[in-house]
Structures are given as C-alpha cells and as structure tokens.
Amino acid sequence: MFNFDVVIIGSGLAGLSTALKLADKKKIAIISKRQLIDSSSHWAQGGIASTASNEDSVDQHVADTLISGADLCDEKVVRFVSENSPAAIQWLADAGVDFTKQPKNNALHFTQEGGHTVRRIAHVADTTGKAVQSVLIQKILSHPNITIFEDHIVVDLITSNKLELANQLKNTCLGLYVLNNATGAVTTFQSDVTILASGGASKVYLYTTNPDVSTGDGMAMAWRAGCRLANMEFIQFHPTCLFHPKEKSFLISEALRGEGAILKLPNNKPFMHLYDARADLAPRDIVARAIDFEMKKRGLECVYLDMTHRTKSFIMDHFPSIYERCLKLNIDISREQIPVVPAAHYSCGGVMTDLHGETDIKNLYAVGETAYTGLHGANRLASNSLLECLVFSEQAAHHILANKDHHQTALPQWDESRVTDADEEVLITHTWNELRRFMWNYVGIVRTNKRLSRAMHRINMLRDEVQEFYRNFRISNNLIELRNLLQVAQLIVESAIARKESRGLHFSRDYPNKNVEKKITVLTPENFNGEKFKKNKKLSIVK
C-alpha cells in the first residue's frame, strides 16, 4: 500500500499545475496512464484566453463566453475565471513558458479565434500545449515531494460509503485502486485528498482530435462513487481535423481562421457566410454543423481550409508545426488547401464541482475537462479550456492547503481470488469498435430521438456483457477503459434524451428550436447522498 497526502489522476495541465501548487507542502502522487506527455493538453495548439491585452476587457471576455455558451454558462464562474486570466498567464511565464511576443515591443502577441471579438489568445507559436507541458514536466521531475507513476491506470475510487463506515457523516474519498500495466498488479493508494484531472471522453467517438487516453475515466469513477454529473450531452466537435489516411487525429488549429483562413467546398466556393454573419469566425458548434450539413448534402468526404492568400513566411512563422506536419504528407498549405473534417474534441460537461473544485464527495476534487464548473455552458469558447485548468488548479490548491483532514482508515487490498485470466480478449476490441462507431453515427453532431434510442439500447446490452467480463476475469488497461467509456456513453445519451431542444452543441432534428427556459442537465446516481448543489440557483434541473 502507498500512502500520500494527495493523489492526482492525470498528467495534463490541470494535474501538473495543481501538483506544483501543492508540492511544497504536500506529498504528491501523479498517476499517468502512459507517459507524462500523453495528454490532450500536450496536443493543444491554439493557446490560452486572457484579458491581459490593452484592447480587451473582462466584460468583453465574459460576453463572448456567454454568447458561445448559448445562455447556459454560470456568469459568476465566467467572470471569476476571466478576472484571473492575466494571473494564470503570469504564473506560466514565471515558470518559464516562453510565450510568443510582438517583435516591436516584446509584449505578448495575441491571436484571435472563433467566437472571440478581439485578439486575446496568448500562445507559443502553434504548439502552446506542448511548450507549457514541457516546462511543467521538467519542474515536476525535479520536485522531491512528487512521485510519478507512469503506465498506471486507476481502477476505482475507495470511499467511506463503499466501505460502509458509520463514523463518516458524509461520503468521503479515502483512496483508490491502481493497476500497474507493466506487472498486472493492483495496488491500494491511501490518500487524504484525491484529484480527478483525467481529461475528457472524446475517445467514445470514432473520429476525435484527442489522444487515446481520453476515455472518460474520472467521470465514470466519480459517477460510480456517487457524484452528480452535468451537461454531458454537450460534446464539442472541432470543425477542422486534418483529413488524411495517414493521420487519424491531427488538429488544424482554429487560429488559422483567426488569421484569415477560409473554409471552402471542393469547387473553391466559401460557404460559412451562408450560416452565420461571423462566417469563418463563428463559434465551433455553428461551424461544425455547417461543415457536417455540406458534407452530407453533397456527399463529400471533407471540405477544405484555404490559407493560400497568406505568404509562406507568414504561415511558417505563425504555424510552423502545422506547416511541417502537412508538408510531410505532401500538402504545402502555402499553395494548397487543407482537407478537413469535424471530429470530437471536448467534453463541456462533467463532474459537478464548486468554485474550489470539490465534488459532491468530501476530499474528492475534479479539475480541467473532467469537471463541470459552469464555465463552458452549452459550447466552450475556444482557448478557455487551458485557462480553466490554471484558474481552478489555483482554487483547488488553496482549498486543499486550508483543509487539515487526515485519515488513517485501514483500506482493503484488491481481491482477485475469484477471477481467472481472460480466455478471449476479442470481446474488448470488438465492443470498443462497435461503441465508437454507433456513438459517431447516432450521437454525433446532429441527433434524433430514434438515433438516441438505438444508441441507448446497444449501450445497455454491451454494458451487461462487459460487466460480466469485469466480474469474472482479471482486469486490464483496455477493459478498464472500455468499462469507463460505456458508462460515459450512457450518461451522454441519457442527457441528450433529456434535453428537448436544440442548444449549443446539442442539435436535435426532433426539437430544432431553443427553449425559452434555460436548464442544465444534472444526472444523479442512485448512491448519491450529498446536499443539494448550491450553485446555479437560477437554472432549473432537468433530472
């Protein structure tokens, strides 16, 4: 058994920044399914929204976020995050992140993305996530209070309710079970505080911009432990993922459209002006639906992003990694248009937290894409995601450092005395492929009641099969991820069925209009025993 003050699940920006803000006073463990660099944060290209520009203001950033969120954002949270955005950028700069500067005065260079009315995206060329993660990983590796467990995956959380402890007045997280992928052994981790920073669930879809680790683990574990989840129906599809047989998930940054790139049909005609007055700078949900409609209407495999009106030097200076990646595939984006398609990109819903990042379960926190804070509403504004990680990591760290709770509860070891080795792994592979395909077809950019019903029927059947497999055979990384993906898929579909309107990222042909009443979708597990959630008092609860 391991014993830590804080265990952090995930090695993206949310996890690493929280770890560094706690490590001087706490003994920290970071659990990473693969290597530290394997996270959606590492892949992020665009940048981090900030009101640090003289041309910007908190009020304008708040307004842009609320508009993008289709009236479902928590304005108090939006304002708090926006007000703290300059400090978040400064924290990274102080840590050593070399943001792109303006050549004339060495001030921060800001770019613009869809849904933003001004330039407010601080960035490091077009590899912001990689640059930030590289700096933070070096600090993590050199800190004596941080222990890293790479190639480990969390099986489940250990809570006082699961152990039926009578002395705990509120369901409390006491630790977790962790599988070592290299040895196959499951170890018990005892912790005073556990932080879910495991990212989103976009691998539930066939086409995604996310790395393979984005399997909704934190959301599924929190649900099984008794946490409520909110707005799971709002899955953001990034409009422009590179369409090429040798690339499955390379993102073409929205910043290209911020710098003038134009979406076009194969006949070289622009089309976004037909869907929104903002044309190519419309929010992601509008752009993704427009592309999806044009592709289905015309039987297209993709559409094209045209940057050829910009000089080669400008493109290579502003988007060096995108230029080089495309050039390796024999696409010179200074001369040729880029073939693109929408792909699942970001989970706007997640585990409900308060302003400190704490969930319904005591001493269990959620930070980053795993969490629902109220910031994103029905559609995330571009580059608000990394900002959310930084602001809420600060909030969680302060709250944890002020919390003096310490437990010495004896936790049970993992028991696999009644299971055997799996005789056939084909069930896992087959189920994984089936799940991702029907989620893409039935619960994608455009939805119908019939499609959602079919998806739920298949999910229920597959969950029974996988649960039987889980009970009888020794667990593996793939089995744990599949179990979590099926749980998250169920929550996405259940939330989509509950929303009888079209709003933001949820578009239903059966309910094409937006309702006057503004509702967030809250799903409550049967084993929930916490107090009623205090935030979003003005918003009704669907379930």
CATH of the domain at 191: 3.50.50.60
List of residues 6+ apart from 430 with CB closer than 8 A: none
Residue after which a domain boundary falls, among 307, 329, 345: 345
- C-beta of residue 365 within 8 angstroms of C-beta of residue 354: no
Residue 413 lies in a domain: no
- C-beta of residue 174 within 8 angstroms of C-beta of residue 409: yes
Residue 458, both tokens: 């298949």
Q: Exactly one of 120, 228, 257, 284 is catalytic; which is it?
A: 284
pLDDT, position 423: 67
Residue 420 lies in a domain: no
Residue 416 lies in a domain: no
Same domain, 126 and 149: yes
Same domain, 219 and 146: yes
| Residue 438 three-state SS | helix
- Report how far apart, in Å, the C-alpha atoms of 401 and of each of 4, 18, 158, 398 are: 14, 11, 22, 5
Residue after which a domain boundary falls, among 306, 328, 345: 345
- The type of residue at 328 is K
Query: Total structural domains in the chain?
Result: 3
Same domain, 291 and 218: no
CATH of the domain at 275: 3.90.700.10
- Report how far apart, in Å, the C-alpha atoms of 31 and of each of 102, 176, 180, 199 are: 38, 11, 10, 13
Same domain, 290 and 397: no
Same domain, 353 and 291: no
| Alpha-carbon span 285 to 504, nearest angstrom | 6
Residue 131 lies in a domain: yes
| Alpha-carbon span 178 to 180, nearest angstrom | 7
- The type of residue at 64 is D
| Residue 343 three-state SS | strand
| Alpha-carbon span 264 to 245, nearest angstrom | 20
* Statement: the pTM of the whole predicted model exceeds 0.85: yes
Any catalytic annotation for residue 289? no
SS (H, E, C) 184-224: CCEEEEEEEEEEECCCCCHHHCCCECCCCCCCCHHHHHHHH
Neighbouring C-alpha atoms within 13 Å toward the C-beta of 243? 17
SS (H, E, C) 3-43: EEEEEEECCCHHHHHHHHHHCCCCCEEEECCCCCCCCHHHH
- C-beta of residue 268 within 8 angstroms of C-beta of residue 370: no
Paired sense of beta strands 371-372 and 173-180, if any: unpaired
pLDDT, position 20: 98
| Alpha-carbon span 72 to 539, nearest angstrom | 8
pLDDT, position 382: 87
CATH of the domain at 512: 1.20.58.100
Same domain, 117 and 197: yes
Residue 409 lies in a domain: no
Same domain, 124 and 178: yes
| Residue 152 three-state SS | strand
Same domain, 328 and 382: no
pLDDT, position 46: 77
| Alpha-carbon span 187 to 404, nearest angstrom | 26
| Alpha-carbon span 394 to 397, nearest angstrom | 5
| Residue 350 three-state SS | strand
> How does pLDDT run along the chain (543 residues), one tens digit per residue?
899 999 999 999 999 999 999 999 999 999 999 888 878 777 677 799 999 888 899 999 999 999 999 999 999 999 999 999 999 999 999 999 999 998 888 889 998 887 899 999 999 987 888 999 999 999 999 999 999 999 999 999 999 999 988 666 689 999 999 999 999 999 999 999 999 999 999 999 988 888 888 999 999 999 999 999 999 999 999 899 999 988 877 889 888 998 999 999 999 999 999 999 999 999 888 899 999 899 988 999 999 999 999 999 999 999 999 999 999 999 999 999 999 999 999 999 999 999 999 999 999 999 999 999 999 999 999 899 999 999 999 999 999 999 888 898 889 999 887 777 776 678 888 999 999 999 998 999 999 999 999 999 999 999 988 988 888 888 999 999 999 999 999 999 999 999 999 999 999 999 999 999 999 999 999 988 775 444 433 333 343
pLDDT, position 539: 37
pLDDT, position 212: 86
Residue after which a domain boundary falls, among 345, 362, 390: 345
| Alpha-carbon span 69 to 71, nearest angstrom | 6
Same domain, 258 and 227: no
Same domain, 67 and 203: yes
Same domain, 226 and 241: no
State CA 348 to chain mean position distance. 7
Q: The domain containing residue 249 runs over which residues?
A: 235-345
Same domain, 371 and 323: no
- The type of residue at 423 is D
